[in-house]
């Protein structure tokens, strides 16, 4: 496919091709779309041909700046700056439970607008991958559950990260997890293996990380994806 994927923001959506990133924003009812060319395209193309490296390049395409910031963050020796003993008060099971509940509330309630844009992004991308005409009507009726969503990969990556965290440091850990989980994700998508992964990801998408978008959000996602197709 010409468009390789997308992601959502608090105020819009982004779709990426092999050469460009197209971002749409919705500000006070006004739609604006910006296009930028990806740097290092030749390097990305080389990485795409190598198993395990292609997962890293695909994710970096969608948000290169954020990807580099995460790498930099993981490279900082936080254990030396903030020794683990400083957080001994957090060992209480009740404190951990309260933290998880707070995170869940933030995800479901406070970030609802983000999940609506996520739903709009999925609807537009599903309409596109199904071969439908990219119209407001086709996008509106499309599913907001996508088997190409990063949630599917996250279901693989999280337990993998927990297992590998016992044998490696944060920086190589994130690279290894991204590389391995992407390969498993691709196999799952292409051959429909690992059904439990798909079921868990669908549940998370339906009830947590997507919500039914508004008409304006659907319009934005449709216009942004249409522009991305032009640059493919």
Whether residue 188 is contained in a domain is answered as: no
pLDDT recorded at residue 14: 94
pLDDT recorded at residue 117: 96
Q: How far is the first Cα of the chain from the last one, in angstroms, to the nearest whole number?
A: 9
Whether residue 118 is contained in a domain is answered as: yes
Range from 145-149, 154-158, 205-209, 226-230 carrying the lowest mean pLDDT: 154-158
Whether residue 200 is contained in a domain is answered as: no
Whether residue 166 is contained in a domain is answered as: no
Q: What is the pLDDT of residues 24-83, one digit of tens each?
A: 999 888 889 999 887 766 777 777 777 777 777 777 776 666 666 566 655 655 556 555
Whether residue 180 is contained in a domain is answered as: no
Whether residue 53 is contained in a domain is answered as: yes
Per the structure, the count of domains in the chain is 1
Q: What is the pLDDT of residues 76-105, one digit of tens each?
A: 555 565 554 544 444 455 665 566 667 666
Return d(Cα 180, Cα 155) in angstroms, integer.
12
Q: What's the domain range around 110?
A: 3-144+210-230
Mean pLDDT, rounded, of the chain: 79
Whether residue 11 is contained in a domain is answered as: yes
């Amino acid at each position: 496919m010409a468009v390789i994927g997308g992601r959502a923001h608090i105020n819009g959506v982004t779709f990426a091709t092999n050469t460009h990133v197209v971002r749409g924003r919705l500000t006070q009812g006004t739609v604006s779309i910006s296009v930028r060319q990806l740097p290092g395209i030749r390097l990305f193309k080389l990485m795409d041909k190598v198993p395990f490296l292609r997962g890293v390049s695909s994710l970096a395409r969608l948000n290169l700046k954020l990807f580099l910031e995460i790498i930099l963050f993981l490279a900082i020796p936080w254990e030396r700056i903030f020794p683990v003993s400083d957080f001994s008060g957090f060992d209480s099971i009740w404190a951990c439970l309260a933290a998880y509940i707070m995170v869940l509330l933030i995800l479901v309630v406070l970030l609802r607008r983000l999940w609506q844009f996520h739903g709009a992004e999925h609807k537009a991308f599903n309409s596109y991958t199904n071969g439908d005409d990219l119209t407001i009507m086709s996008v509106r009726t499309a599913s907001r559950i996508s088997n190409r969503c990063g949630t599917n990969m996250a279901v693989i990556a999280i337990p993998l990260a927990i297992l590998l965290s016992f044998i490696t440091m944060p920086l190589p850990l994130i690279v290894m997890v991204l590389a391995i989980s992407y390969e498993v994700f691709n196999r799952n998508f292409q051959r429909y293996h690992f059904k439990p992964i798909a079921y868990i990801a669908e549940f998370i998408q339906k009830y947590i990380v997507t919500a039914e978008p508004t008409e304006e959000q659907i319009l934005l996602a449709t216009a942004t994806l249409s522009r991305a197709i032009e640059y493919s």
